[in-house]
Amino acid sequence: MPHIIGKRIVLREYRQEDVPAIRKWVNDPGITRGLSDVFIYPHSQVNSESFVQMMIDGNPEIKGFVIAHKDTLDYIGQLDLFKINWVNRHATFGVVIGRDGDLGKGYGREAIGLLQKFAFHTLNLHRLELEVYAFNERAYRCYLACGFKEEGRLREKLFREGQYYDIIQMGILRSEYEAAEQATES
């Protein structure tokens, strides 16, 4: 898969040598707290290796990318389109920045912009959607800045650390992305 090149990052293919970087964050509760339930239990070396191998082998319902530094191609995080529905032209996406030191630098926002362009212009999707936990304010603000709109709330659906939280459903349509893209170019 060719690289998708941004200003400071590239979206590139997964590689087996990414496993150690993934292992550093996949069991870090500070990183995984805001991610899906698949991360609430410890992940073994075999889990991480199997995931990376699955991404390398490919799956028609998943398009995954490593977010990497443009100059070094070193792992920053990952961004995956999954549950791709080719008939109805929509997909769900998830993103993680895998190191605290890389948070707040705009890498996630840049990666999401690159993924949106790929999803809408290359894959010809009509809609992207995601879920974000209400306590994950940094991610919520990032998604709003990237053009996603809040479409609904699943009230107190998530139980974390002794407390219930809402899950916020968000989405963006191709027409909304293209209008924002055109306004930026003007």
Cα–Cα distances (Å) from 104 to 9, 57, 79, 107, 180, in that order, read 14, 32, 16, 8, 23
Taking each helix axis from N to C end, the angle separating 137-145 and 107-117, rounded to the nearest 10 degrees, works out to: 40
Position 101 pLDDT exceeds 90: no
Mean pLDDT confidence for 131-156: 96
Where does the pLDDT of residue 42 fall: very low under 50, low under 70, confident under 90, or very high at 90 and above? confident
Beta-ladder partners of 59: 62
The whole-model pTM stands at: 0.92
Mean pLDDT of the chain: 92
What percentage of the chain carries pLDDT values higher than 70? 97
Mean pLDDT confidence for 7-22: 94
User: The domain spanning residue 35 has which CATH number?
Assistant: 3.40.630.30
Domain span at residue 88 reads 4-185
Measured in whole angstroms, the distance separating CA 93 from the mean position of its chain's CA atoms is 5
What strand order describes the sheet that includes 4-5? 4-5, 9-12, 63-69, 75-85, 90-97, 127-133, 163-173, 149-160
Mean pLDDT confidence for 64-73: 94
Q: How many domains does the chain have?
A: 1
